[in-house]
């Protein structure tokens, strides 16, 4: 648990550490226009998540079949190699291709969730996975700060070199410190081979499971919908020289709220049911997201962003714990991979939708749209859970009779 938490921290940080200096790094490759640099910055950053959206289920499936530790080593060292080569690339296209390759090997975090989930009792899954999630969230939160500090201190090349060495070390600790025997023994008891088509059929037949994956997509979409416009929104709220810093703080404070509360939500899910916690966190998340459209200063925005992050902190551990309880162990890695794909898709779709809405109307409409989407999601999940509960009661009466 400790080893995987630390490894997840560095892997998650590596995905976002390039963000603060990406445009500056691209500018060193040639004499480009500002529009060219901005356009390719978006392409280079987004391609990793787009490719990861496609390949995540395959890593999960390979982990279920061949062993999750092997996938952790393959993806961990793959990420380290791609980051190392980024420090020596000579063109924008080369950087784009390396970020593409990084997306291909981005299966470490969902595989680690599957590994720990398989070795965790169902009644403690929320607490354990919530604790593990703290490493991932804190890595994504601190990654840009680490990247910016390293770039300012050592330069771009050494930033990539140092990061690749750290990830290599973390993966090597996994190599010698993780024992997968428990998982293998459990899989022997459940020799159940399923095609990818049958796994997809399982997801679509379980309405709660399908809805939970849609929730993963919609929450990421809502959270990232405001990211491209946040600096402009902060600039409208106040006049200051360090707008970029304040905008980064306003966005990152969501991750801070997520980090502080994710374990508590997981513990509560173990006690009262993870579906109930999802309803609570989604409802409150929507209530804290909507007022961001009406704030009049930066600190009001920061408070509501923090509260929104605190609410959505319960989603990943409760979703993962539900999957732990609802699906066979032999396909959990693949299904967690599909769930991670939905999250990656939200990372890509959110900024696109946010940019489109703000260009057609205003930035405030991004908050309106995302809040409405969250409330519709709450209503849909509530209806599905109510219908499932009704079907279970009816089945119990029939069995009793």
CATH of the domain at 26: 1.20.1250.20
| Virtual torsion, Cα 394, 395, 400, 401, nearest 10 deg | 70
Q: How confident is the model at residue 93, as a pLDDT? A: 93
Structure tokens at 54: 């496609």
Residue 48 shares a structural domain with residue 120? yes
Question: Which domain-ending residue is among 132, 157, 189?
Answer: 189
Please name the residues in contact with 285: beta carbons below 8 A apart, sequence gap of 6 or more. 219, 308, 311, 312, 374
| 230 close to 250: Cβ distance less than 8 angstroms | yes
Examine the domain organization and report whether 281 and 324 are in the same domain. Answer: yes
Mark whether 165 and 198 lie in a shared domain. Answer: no
User: Could you tell me if 218 and 133 lie in one domain?
Assistant: no
What pTM was computed for the model?
0.73
Q: What's the CA gap between 166 and 237, in Å, rounded?
A: 39
User: Are 363 and 232 a contacting pair, CB within 8 Å?
Assistant: yes
250 and 349 co-located in one domain: yes
Please check whether residues 233 and 345 belong to one and the same domain: yes
Tell which of 133, 156, 189 closes a domain.
Answer: 189
> Do residues 246 and 345 both lie within one domain?
yes
Number of domains within the chain: 2
The C-alpha atoms of residue 315 and residue 298 are separated, in whole angstroms, by: 26
Quote the pLDDT of residue 323.
80
Question: Does residue 214 share a domain with residue 113?
Answer: no
Q: What is the 3-state secondary structure (H, E, C) of the chain?
A: CHHHHHHHHHHHHHHHCCHHHHHHHHHCCCCCCHHHHHHHHHHHHHHHHHHHHHHHHHHHHHHHHHCHHHHHHHHHHHHHHHHHHHCCCCCHHHHHHHHHHHHHCCCHHHHHHHHHHHCCCHHHHHHHHHHHHHHHHHHHHHHHHHHHHHHHHHCHHHHHHHHHHHHHHHHHHHHHHCCCHHHHHHHHHCCCCCCHHHHHHHHHHCHHHHHHHHHHHHHHHHHHHCHHHHHHHHHHHCCCCCHHHHHHHHHHHHHHHHHHHHHHHHHHHHHHCHHHHHHHHHHHHHHHHHHHHCCCCHHHHHHHHHHHHHHHCCHHHHHHHHHHHHCCHHHHHHHHHHHHHHHHHHHHHHHHHHHHHHHHCCHHHHHHHHHHHHHHHHHHHHHHHHHHHHHHHHHHHHHHC
Residues 240 and 378 in one domain: yes
Residues 185 and 196 in one domain: no
What pLDDT, on a 0 to 100 scale, did the predictor assign at position 242? 62
pLDDT tens track of the chain, all 401 residues? Answer: 788 888 888 887 876 777 667 777 888 888 888 778 877 877 887 788 888 888 888 888 888 788 888 889 999 999 999 999 999 998 999 999 999 998 898 878 778 877 877 777 766 766 777 777 777 777 776 777 777 778 778 888 888 898 899 889 889 988 888 877 544 444 444 445 677 788 888 888 888 888 888 888 888 888 778 776 776 777 777 776 666 667 767 777 887 888 888 888 888 888 888 888 889 999 998 999 999 989 888 888 889 989 988 888 888 778 877 887 777 777 777 888 788 888 888 878 887 888 788 878 888 888 898 899 889 988 988 888 888 766 545 444 444 54
Q: Give yes or no: residues 159 and 97 share one domain.
A: yes
What's the domain range around 340? 192-401
Domain boundary among 171, 189, 207: 189
100 and 120 part of one domain: yes
Q: Which residue has the tokens 């200051």?
A: 240
């Amino acid at each position: 648990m400790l080893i995987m938490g630390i490894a997840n921290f560095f892997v998650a940080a590596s995905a976002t550490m390039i963000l603060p200096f990406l445009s500056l790094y691209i500018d060193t490759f040639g004499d480009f226009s500002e529009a060219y640099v901005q356009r390719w910055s978006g392409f280079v950053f987004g391609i990793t998540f787009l490719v990861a959206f496609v390949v995540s289920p395959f890593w999960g499936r390979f982990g279920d079949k061949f062993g999750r530790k092997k996938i952790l080593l393959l993806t961990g060292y793959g990420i380290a190699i791609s980051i190392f080569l980024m420090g020596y690339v000579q063109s924008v296209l080369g950087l784009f291709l390396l970020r593409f390759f990084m997306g291909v090997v981005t299966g470490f975090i969902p595989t680690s969730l599957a590994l720990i989930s398989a070795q965790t009792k169902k009644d403690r899954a929320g607490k354990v996975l919530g604790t593990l999630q703290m490493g991932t969230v804190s890595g994504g939160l601190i990654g840009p700060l680490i990247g910016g500090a390293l770039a300012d201190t050592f330069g771009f090349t050494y930033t990539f070199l140092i990061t690749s060495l750290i990830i290599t070390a973390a993966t090597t600790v996994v190599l010698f410190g993780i024992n997968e025997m428990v998982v293998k023994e459990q899989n022997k008891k459940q020799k159940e081979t399923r095609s990818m088509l049958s796994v997809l059929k399982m997801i679509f037949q379980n309405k709660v499971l399908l809805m939970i994956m849609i929730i993963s997509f919609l929450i990421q979409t809502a959270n990232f919908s405001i990211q491209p416009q946040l600096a402009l929104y902060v600039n409208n709220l106040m006049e200051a020289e360090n707008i970029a810093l304040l905008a980064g703080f306003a966005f990152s404070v969501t991750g801070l709220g997520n980090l502080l509360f994710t374990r508590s939500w997981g513990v509560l899910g173990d006690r009262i049911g993870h579906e109930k916690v999802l309803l609570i966190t989604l409802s409150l998340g929507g209530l804290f997201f909507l007022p961001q459209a009406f704030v009049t200063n930066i600190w009001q925005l920061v408070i509501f962003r923090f509260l929104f992050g605190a609410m959505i902190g319960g989603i990943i551990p409760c979703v993962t714990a539900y999957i732990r309880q609802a699906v066979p162990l032999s396909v959990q890695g693949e299904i967690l991979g599909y769930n991670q794909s939905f999250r990656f898709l939200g990372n890509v779709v959110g900024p696109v939708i946010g940019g489109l809405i703000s260009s057609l109307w205003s930035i405030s409409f991004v908050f309106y749209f995302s809040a409405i989407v969250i409330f519709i999601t709450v209503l849909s999940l509530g209806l599905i859970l109510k219908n499932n509960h009704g079907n279970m009661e009816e089945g119990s009466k029939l069995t009793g009779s």
